[in-house]
Structure 1
Amino acid sequence: MTILQKRLLWLRALSLLQIATICGTAFAASAMADITNYETEGNLKPTHRIGCATLAEIGNEITPADLALGFETCMQKQDYVPAVTLLAVMRLRAHFDTKRVTDKTAHGAGQVLTLNALSQLSERKKKFLSLTFERSLARGAETHTAICDHARSNGPPSYIPHYMIQHGLAAFKDKPGPALVDPFDANRAWQNSLTQYFKCS
C-alpha cells in the first residue's frame, strides 16, 4: 500500500467518523470498523500537561495541542472563562503556525484540535461555553484584552510546531522537504495574527 493510499484511507475514515457523529447511524459506525487510521508520530500530540492553566502560566513553549488538553481539564471542572481563554490562545497560536508551516495540508490541525475538544462536551456544556465565548472574547472585553496584552508582551511562540507538521500529507513522504518557512519573520507574522486574526487593537 502506497503512502498516498494510506492517507486516503485515513481521510475516508475521518469522513465516516463525521457522518457517524452527525447522523448517529449504526451503518456509519460499522463501516468505521473496517478502516485503519494511519497517523505519523507527533500528529496533534501535546508536549506539556498544563492543567486548567491561567493566562500568566502559559509560556511561549506551550503548543496548541497542550492548550487543547488544558481546555478539556477546565471543562471537566466547568471553569468556563479559563476554558475559553485557553481555547482562544490555542486558536491564535495555531493561526500563527499556519504562517510558518510549509505544508498547506497540515494547516487544518488547529480546527481538528478544536473539533476534537468540543466533541467531548454535552449539549449543556456547549451552550454555556458558547455564551461565555461571546461575552469574553468580544473586542474590548476583559478576557480579550488580557489575551492581547499577554500575547504582545510575551512575543511569538518558541516551540517547533510538530503537532501541525506531522498532521499534513508531507509527513507521509520519505523526503518531505523543509517543514518550516525559511527565512521567516516571526515577529511580523505574530503581529499579523494579533491584528488581523484576533482583532487586537
Structure 2
Amino acid sequence: MRVLCILIVLLSTSAYSQTMAPPKIITERNGNITNHRAEGSLAVTHDVGCIELSEANNQLTPPDLYQGVASCLAQDRYDRAAALFSLAGVYGNFDAARVADKSAGQAKAVLIMTTFSAVSQDKKKRFLDEVKAISGNHEVLRKTCADIRDVGKPDYYPAYMILHGMGAFTENPHDQALVVGFDAAKVWNSLQTSYLHCPA
C-alpha cells in the first residue's frame, strides 16, 4: 500500500511538471525603454476588492492582496488597507523563502512600489499612520496577528514570483522551482515574530 501511495505521488508530480511549460517572454517598449517580462509575472489571479482581513483566504496571492490594498486606499479605508498589507507582506516573505530562484524574491518590492505609485502623499501618510497605530497598539496588533493566523499559511503555487525571477528568461522556471525540504510550518511561525512582530 505504501509503495502504491509513493507511485501515485511521483506520477502526479511528474504529470504536473510536464504541464508547466516555460513562460512566454513579453517585450514592451515605452519610448527609449524596453522591458522584458515573463507572462504571468506578478499576475493577479483574484479581484478581491477592499475586503476585511476576515474575508481573506490562503489562496489569495500577494498580487491579489496588494490590489486589494489599492482598492482600500481609493476608498479611504485605511484600516482595511493596513490589515491586507500585513497579510500580503507575510505571504510575500513566505514565498521568497520557498522559491529556489532568489532573484525572484524582488517581486514583493516591485508589487509594493506598483501599489503606491499613483497614491497621493496625503493618502500615503494616512496609510502609514494606520500602520503605526496597529503596530503601536498591542491589542490591535494581537487581533491582526490572530486574524492572519486564522487565514493560515499560503496554499497556492507562487507562480507570480517564480516568473519574476531571472530563471524565467534562461530556463523553464517551473523546474525545481521550490526549495527542497522547505519547512512551511517553521517559516510561517517564524514570520509571526520576525515580520509581523506579533505579541507573545
Scaled by the length of structure 2, what TM-score is found?
Answer: 0.80
Q: CA separation in 1, counterparts of 2:69 and 2:151?
A: 20
* 2:103 aligned partner: 105
- Equivalence for 2:167: 170
Corresponding letter in the other structure for 1:107:
G
The match for 2:64 among 66, 84, 88 is 66
How far apart, CA to CA, are the structure 1 residues paired with 2:124 and 2:61? Answer: 23
Tell me, what secondary structure is at the counterpart of 1:36? strand
Provide runs of 4+ in structure 1 moved above 4 Å: none
Structure 1 residue 128: deviation in Å? Answer: 1.0
Distance 1:145 1:139 in 2: 8
Give the 5 Å matches for 1:132-151.
Answer: 132-138=130-136, 140-142=138-140, 144-151=141-148
Corresponding position of 2:116: 118
Q: Which has the higher strand share?
A: 2
RMSD: 2.1
**Structure 1 position 63, deviation (Å):** 0.6
* Contact map agreement 2:54 2:151 (CA 8 A) in 1: no
Q: Secondary structure at the match of 1:39?
A: strand
Distance 1:105 1:77, change over 3 A: same
Per the normalisation by structure 1, the TM-score is 0.80
Distance, in Å, in 2 between the alignment partners of 1:33 and 1:179 is 34
Counterpart of 1:99 in structure 2: which amino acid? A
Q: Say whether residues 1:161 and 2:158 are aligned partners.
A: yes
How many residues were matched structurally? 174
Deviation at 1:139, TM superposition (A): 5.7
3-state SS of 2:35 partner: coil
The aligned residue for residue 25 of structure 1 is none
Instruction: Give the equivalent residue in structure 2 for 1:16.
Output: none
Secondary structure at the counterpart of residue 172 of structure 1: helix
CA distance in 2, matches of 1:103, 1:132: 34
Q: Is the CA contact (8 Å cut-off) linking 2:59 and 2:155 kept in structure 1?
A: yes
